[in-house]
Structure formats: structure tokens, C-alpha cells
Amino acid sequence: MDLEKARFNMIEQQIRPWDVLDQEILDLLAVVKREQFVPKAYASLAFVDTEIPLPGGQLMLAPRVEARVLQELNVRKHETVLEIGAGSGYMAALLGARARQVTTVDIRPELAALARENLARAGITNVEVAEGNAAEGWPAGAPYDVICISGSMPVLPSSILSQVKVGGRISAFVGTLPVMEAQLITRMSETEYQTVNLFETAVVPLDGVKAATRFQF
């Protein structure tokens, strides 16, 4: 496989047509090597428009979804980011290239270990990988400028909403099958949030979400 040609085709044929037009994001996708974060058994799928299996029944999001979320979050160099659901560490690597500091949390030890290993191999030093259940947020580093939730939730819990700063943004996949909404939620004030529906999708549920949890938004 010609990796650079496959990467170019991914960016130009999958990602750019999906309204990802920020040149800094497109350039970043050429720099952060996606193939380094894909399990070896699925190396041939690294640049394909599909979700890729990860340990524990989880999935790596399709490239165009990752890129669109990254663009909409508009992370800036002085900001701190929480990612809920580390997966392979690829999204954390992209976020880390844009942010001052990223904390990525996964409930599954095998995924936390995979993300930590991949990020270390890629030489990324401003991403901390934590193991635990962040389905209600991760208070240890709160408040955050940006929260990126990499799995779907039926409704966004108030505990996560409270952990983003005023002016901060949350990306989330909200709803249940067959259709979910990718949303960008911006905290406008202490009590007011603005929600924009970005696109419809279907994303694997986030681990650790309690069915009986009371949600409020």
C-alpha cells in the first residue's frame, strides 16, 4: 500500500467533501499518522471510510467523523481538553496537536493501555491517559475548555455539562439507535447552553453509562 497516496485520498475524497474545509485540520490529518493507531489486524482499513474494531468490542470512528468533530470543536493552543473514551488514542493525538493539555479516559484497561502505548510511540507528550469510568465526567481536571465524548449517550448528563468552562465546547453523540445526533454544545453562561445538531449518525454506546441515571438538559 502506498500510505501517502491512501492518506491523500482519505483527506480529499472522504473528509473534505464532508464539509471539513479548515486547512489546519486537513494538514494535521496528514501529519498525525492514523495507521500508527489502528490495530495491526486491520492495518489495511486505516484510511477506509469505515469504523475499525478495537479490543473489547469498541470501534474506532470513521475518519470523516473524527475530522468533522475536530473541526467543530475548534480547539486552541491554550486550552485543556477532556476526551471520554480513549479508544486507540488517535483522537487524543489529534486533540493534543491543537491543545495545551489533553486527558483521555477509558473504562477498559486494555484500551487505556493501547492508547498509552500508541501515544508514546508517536512521541506525544501532552496527553495523559487515565483508566476509569468517565460517563459522568472526570472531575479531577475540571473545569475543561473542551470535552470530546467518543461514544454515544442517550442524553448528555448534567454532571458533564457542569465540567466545561463558560465559552467551552462539548462534542457528543446523543440519542439511541437507529439515529443519533452529533451535537456541539457551547456553554454560554453559568446556566445557559447552546446546542447545534451537526449531523445524524450511529455510534457505539459509551461504556459505563448507567441505564437508570437521571439525565437533565
* Unique residue bearing C-alpha cell 474506532: 60
Q: What is the pTM of this model?
A: 0.94
CATH architecture, domain defined by 3-201: 3-Layer(aba) Sandwich (3.40)
Residue by residue, pLDDT tens for the chain (217 residues) are 799 999 999 999 999 999 999 999 999 999 999 999 999 999 999 999 999 999 988 999 999 999 999 999 999 999 999 999 999 999 999 999 999 999 999 999 999 999 999 999 999 999 999 999 999 999 999 999 999 999 999 999 999 999 999 999 999 999 998 889 999 999 999 999 999 999 999 999 999 997 544 444 4
Q: What is the pLDDT of residue 21?
A: 97
Other CB atoms within a 10 A radius of the CB of residue 85 amount to 27
Tell me the C-alpha distance between 194 and 151, whole Å: 21
Cis link prior to 205 (omega < 30° from 0)? no
| 55-61, Cβ contacts within 8 angstroms, sequence gap of 24 or more | 55/108, 55/110, 55/111, 55/114, 56/108, 56/110, 56/111, 56/207, 57/204, 58/85, 58/87, 58/108, 58/111, 58/151, 58/204, 58/207, 59/204, 60/87, 60/88, 60/90, 61/87, 61/91, 61/150, 61/203
Q: What is the pLDDT of residue 211?
A: 59
The residue ranges of every structural domain in the chain are 3-201
Q: What is the pLDDT of residue 179?
A: 86
Question: 3-state class of 200 per DSSP?
Answer: strand
Other CB atoms within a 10 A radius of the CB of residue 179 amount to 9
What is the DSSP track for 149-160?
EEEEESS--HHH
Q: What is the pLDDT of residue 45?
A: 96
Could you tell me the maximum CA-CA distance found in the chain, to the nearest angstrom? Answer: 51
Amino acid at residue number 17:
P
Q: Give the number of residues written for the chain.
A: 217
Q: What is the pLDDT of residue 210?
A: 77
Question: 3-state class of 58 per DSSP?
Answer: coil
